Amino acid sequence: MTGSRRAIVNATAGTTRDSLARPVTWGGAAFQLLDSGGLYGASEDPLHELVVRQGQRAIAGADLIVLVTDGREGLVGGDQTIARELRETGKPLLLAVNKTDDKRARDSSTDFYTLGIDPVLEISAEHGTGVAELLDAIVDRLGEVSGPQSPVASQEPEETTVAIVGRPNVGKSSLVNRLLHEERVLVSDMPGTTRDAIDSPLTWHHRRFRIVDTAGMRRPGRVATGGQIEWVSVAGAKKAIGDADVVVLVVDASTGATEQDAAIGGEADRAGRGVVIVANKWDLVKDRGPKYSQVFDEETRHRMRFLDYAPILHVSAMTGERAPKILETIDKIGEARRRKIPTPKLNKFLAEVTAANPPTSPGRKHVRIMYAAQVGVAPPKFVFFTNVATTFHFSYERFLVNQLRSFFDFLGTPIRVEVRRRGKKGVN
């Protein structure tokens, strides 16, 4: 991590005697890294007591503690003890499972989730794998706990990249103009008149957004058969979707969602982006009566069942009606997509949910979920560790996703779920 081998590396336990403090700079943040020199474990070293005392001092003075475990050796009793003591300090903790370049380590790594330290990062200090992610995690966590004066906290805030996608002429450019409060993007009622993709930075309530308009992906020359139009605009949208955190799927309120809208929406879903469905030109449907909102939403949901998590907004780029809702919603979705649920909270939730609704799995009885962990963000990804190797019944997986969504308020983002058999040492 310090980019050097200053710490003495040796295969015999207990060879690091000193607590070495080294400055580390990463992602614009600076911190001191202290190697505690082997806190626990049997050592013949007469200096062991001293080492332990030094290590304890290091812990007492630390803002954040990284517990390193030996993935090749697997979870050992000492890890439990150390983890418990570290949790009692109340300090932010990270768990780094080392030596995961070794196959044995990868098999046992899931056991380490039981230590209740979150997140669990798999690294290989020798090969350098996972070290960048560990540094990212340290900087992130320090940023959360430190005050505004800290160099860590002064990092640039996260930017949300927004792709505005939809069929030609639904009002994408008009919406971008609305959002930017200026006539920056050429608007015309001729399909295909916006030639270039536009990247616009935007700050709202101190949050930074970058808006990508994709209208220009579709060239006027390509207006040929229906099939070809479809292909061109979905392909254009695909690129923007790939770059985005949040996708604004603009549909025309007066015509309703079409097959092509669904194709673009499907792309966003598969890519794991956040999605908000914006029904534009709502001014044109005002005269359809008060029930139309409901009818429109039901039809849209029916056409795009897979986007059941995406909020639907009724707006008018022309009058500006409810347009401010768009940024507010994008911001919420962007935040939800990056949200990390602490493992203890997740498992408390899981205990309640599974007590009332035990898992169902095709061809397997007595499936139990032992514990769960969030292993990824953007989109949030959860692993459920079970007693036997299995998958959940489709409807049960859906149920879990919905419960996670409503309980932890994951607005507008897909949620990924994986079922894994809890690792048993020496078995798999």
Q: What does the alpha-carbon distance between residue 315 and residue 311 come to, in Å, rounded to a whole number?
A: 13
Task: Give 142 or 164: the residue with its C-beta nearer to ligand GDP.
Answer: 164
State in angstroms the smallest separation of the CB of 314 from ligand GDP: 10
d(C-alpha 215, C-alpha 223), whole Å: 14
Which lies closer to ligand GDP via its Cβ, residue 125 or residue 187?
187
Q: Which is nearer to ligand GDP, 219 or 348 (CB)?
A: 219
Listed in sequence order, the residues at least 6 apart from 173 whose beta carbon sits closer than 8 Å to its beta carbon are 185, 186, 187, 194, 213, 215
Nearer to ligand GDP, 155 or 169 (CB): 169
Q: Which of 36, 100, 108, 194 binds ligand GDP (CB under 6 A)?
A: 194
Tell me which residue of 245, 244, 185 sits closest to 215, measured CA to CA: 185
How many whole angstroms separate alpha carbon 333 and alpha carbon 309?
A: 10
Residue closer to ligand GDP (CB basis): 195 or 345: 195
Specify the residue, 33 or 284, whose C-beta has the smaller distance to ligand GDP: 284
Among 110, 280, 343, 413, binds ligand GDP (CB under 6 A): 280
CA 40 to CA 121: how far, in whole Å?
A: 21
User: On the CB side of 406, how many CA atoms lie within 13 Å of its CA?
Assistant: 7
Binding string, 360-399, against ligand GDP, x = CB under 6 A?
A: ----------------------------------------
CA–CA separation, 160 vs 278, rounded Å? Answer: 18
Shortest distance, CB of residue 288 to ligand GDP, whole angstroms?
14
User: Taking a C-beta distance cutoff of 8 angstroms, is the pair 165, 172 a contact?
Assistant: yes
Among candidates 141, 165, 136, 164, which has minimal Cα distance to 153? 141
Query: By C-beta, is 38 or 168 nearer to ligand GDP?
Result: 168
Q: Nearest approach, Cβ of 244 to ligand GDP (angstroms)?
A: 16
Cβ proximity to ligand GDP, 215 vs 415, nearer residue: 215
Residue 317 as a binder of ligand GDP (CB under 6 A): the answer is yes
CB of 194 to ligand GDP, least distance (A): 5
Q: Decide: residue 406, CB within 10 A, 0-12 exposed, 13-18 middle, 19+ buried.
A: exposed
User: Which member of 120, 165, 187, 232 binds ligand GDP (CB under 6 A)?
Assistant: 187
70, 243, 283, 335: which one contacts ligand GDP (CB under 6 A)?
283
Mask: binding to ligand GDP, 144-183, rule CB under 6 A, as x and -? ----------------------x-xxxxxxx---------
Considering the complex, state which of residue 199 and residue 409 has its C-beta at the smaller distance from ligand GDP. Answer: 199
With contact defined as beta carbons under 8 Å apart, do 422 and 385 qualify?
Answer: yes
| Residues numbered 196-225 forming contacts with ligand GDP, rule: CB under 6 A | 215
The number of residues that bind ligand GDP (CB under 6 A) is 20
Q: Which stretch binds ligand GDP (CB under 6 A): 125-133, 198-206, 281-289, 368-376?
A: 281-289
- Closer CB to ligand GDP, 130 or 168, in the complex: 168
> Do residues 78 and 44 lie in contact, with contact meaning Cβ atoms separated by under 8 Å?
no
Would you tell me how many other CB atoms lie within 10 Å of the CB of residue 119? 22
Minimum distance from residue 180 beta carbon to ligand GDP (Å): 13
The neighbour count for residue 369, using CB atoms within 10 Å, is 20
Query: Which span (109-117, 311-319, 337-345, 368-376) binds ligand GDP, by CB under 6 A?
Result: 311-319
Sole binder of ligand GDP in the list 54, 100, 108, 316 (CB under 6 A):
316
| Interacting residue with ligand GDP among 48, 238, 273, 281 (CB under 6 A) | 281
Which parts of this chain interact with ligand GDP (CB under 6 A)? 166, 168-174, 187-189, 194, 215, 280-281, 283-284, 316-318
